[in-house]
Amino acid sequence: MVAPEFQAIVLAAGKGSRLTEVLEERPKCLLPIGIYPLIWYTLKMLQTHGFTEAIVLVLENEKIEIQQRLEKTQLKLKIDFCSISGDSDVGTADALRQIVERIKTDFVLLSCDTIMEFSLYHVLKSFRKHNATIVSLLVHSDDQDFVIPGPKMKNKLELDLFGICPTSKRLVFMGSASDFENIFKLPGHLLRQHESVELCSGLLDAHVYVMKKWMIDYIEASSNISSLKGELLPYILKRQLYTSLNSQQTQMDKAISEINMITKSNDIFRLISNSEIDKKMSDSSIFNQEPPFGNNLLGCYAVTAPKNTFGVRVNTLSAFYLANRQIYNVFSSIVDSPVTTLIAPNCDINSNQVSKTAVGEQTVIHEKTSITSSTIGANCVIKPKVLILTSILMDNVIVEESVVIENCILSDNSIIKSGSILRNCLIGANYIVSQNSQKDFVHLSNSKDFMEI
């Protein structure tokens, strides 16, 4: 059991600006993965790890819709929905600043779009073991070779660079791989402070953090810090090299002088809890005895999931497709529930050729239909003599007779007329594919907001 030692906070106020092709008017956190909304996987994971309560940050105009959708999933978790105002994407730190008074203990901060089969206990254990300020979870990027439905384009993964001390597991450097070209120069102060630094380029920030309670006080005091990953974490990584408020000026001071301007007089060391028990925990840790970390209560650590561990952040179309493509295979290990719960009890399946497929509520699948490795949403109708392979059908989709659908995404309320053959297609909401159409690698949509690629 975890509670009451930690509070759980879930960020679900993002607008999903890179998922417009499938979002339509739906909140990003309610995108379907299998037959469950995206945020359900984060909340279910918390429940599985012994949490009984969670604070969920949502946009004010989406609160009721999210609340009603989650009520249908029958989670046992007590959810405290906190509305965030704002017309644009709210930064992580900005969102936390609006709920300062609700945070009473050390806390676990998670993004609603993270799906993983890695146990949170490893992250919590590292936090306790090192008496850490922040522990961040890193997962290996998925390098599977698959075709994204829609116009042909290269699936370019957004990769980060991380520098990790192999002895202490301290996170000492992070940056986006896109910020560097063919040559990467490791900051000189890291080489002076560490005997060795492991540079990892195939890892992704899972946006799962465990943080000290006093960090929320620092966030509140530093109004110019908007994001956690882009601003706060880099600042912590640099400031952790100091051992006390009275550290002498070093070359490191010059390296961080620019970021110190952001926080002005809000020196982070003034907010660190420095009780006797904190000192004893720091002194007793074998990882805090060697330079440059002696008696230092400020530290950022990383936990890296094993390479074969499934983990994805559903913040792009390719990640959305990958998550649905893999969810049947990893569902049981992620949520500790049988994979049969991916088939709604009130759906009507009349074919014995439906395999490795999630089927939503009140969906009707007629006889003589073959469906493999796909996700079928709620209230869909699949007529006879249909073949569906590795595809995603969202809610209220109608597929008429003798249709072939392979490696496609069909958005809400789309209709595929009889005799059509669709391969590698992205079909927009409310779009009607005419009878006997043959399409490959296209995005068909009624919307005029999308640019042709």
> In this structure, what CATH number is given to the domain that contains residue 141?
3.90.550.10
Cβ contact 415:433 at 8 Å = yes
**197/267 same-domain check:** yes
Q: Which two tokens stand for residue 224?
A: 């110019």
- Which phi-psi region, left, alpha or beta, contains residue 427 (left: φ > 0; alpha: ψ -120 to 50)? beta
How far apart, in whole angstroms, are the C-alpha atoms of residue 446 and residue 322?
25
- Which phi-psi region, left, alpha or beta, contains residue 362 (left: φ > 0; alpha: ψ -120 to 50)? left
pLDDT tens digit at each of 453 positions of the chain: 554 689 999 999 988 888 989 998 899 999 999 999 999 999 999 999 999 999 999 999 999 999 999 999 989 999 999 998 765 567 899 999 999 999 999 999 999 999 999 999 999 999 999 999 999 999 988 766 788 999 987 666 667 889 898 888 999 888 876 666 666 666 666 666 667 888 888 888 999 999 999 999 999 999 889 999 889 998 888 888 764 334 444 444 444 444 444 444 456 766 675 555 555 555 555 444 444 444 456 889 999 999 889 999 999 999 999 999 999 999 999 998 999 999 999 999 999 999 999 999 999 999 999 999 999 999 999 999 999 999 999 999 999 999 999 999 999 999 999 999 999 999 999 999 999 999 999 999 997 654 443
**49/91 same-domain check:** yes
Last residue of a domain, one of 282, 303, 319: 319
pLDDT tens readout for residues 323-358: 999 999 999 999 989 999 999 999 999 999 999 999
User: What is the pTM assigned to this prediction?
Assistant: 0.88
Type of residue found at 107? F
**301/347 same-domain check:** no
Is omega for the bond preceding 345 within 30 degrees of 0, making it cis? Answer: no
**22/141 same-domain check:** yes
**399/270 same-domain check:** no
**253/106 same-domain check:** yes
> In this structure, what CATH number is given to the domain that contains residue 439?
2.160.10.10
Instruction: Find the domain containing 154 and state its range.
Output: 6-319
pLDDT tens readout for residues 116-159: 999 999 999 999 999 999 999 999 887 667 889 999 876 666 67
**302/348 same-domain check:** no
How far apart, in whole angstroms, are the C-alpha atoms of residue 315 and residue 16?
7
Residue 295 lies in a domain: yes
> How many Cβ atoms sit within 10 Å of the Cβ of residue 282?
21
How far apart, in whole angstroms, are the C-alpha atoms of residue 348 and residue 366?
8
**163/253 same-domain check:** yes
Residue 131 lies in a domain: yes
**385/431 same-domain check:** yes
**282/395 same-domain check:** no
How far apart, in whole angstroms, are the C-alpha atoms of residue 127 and residue 215?
14
Residue 101 lies in a domain: yes
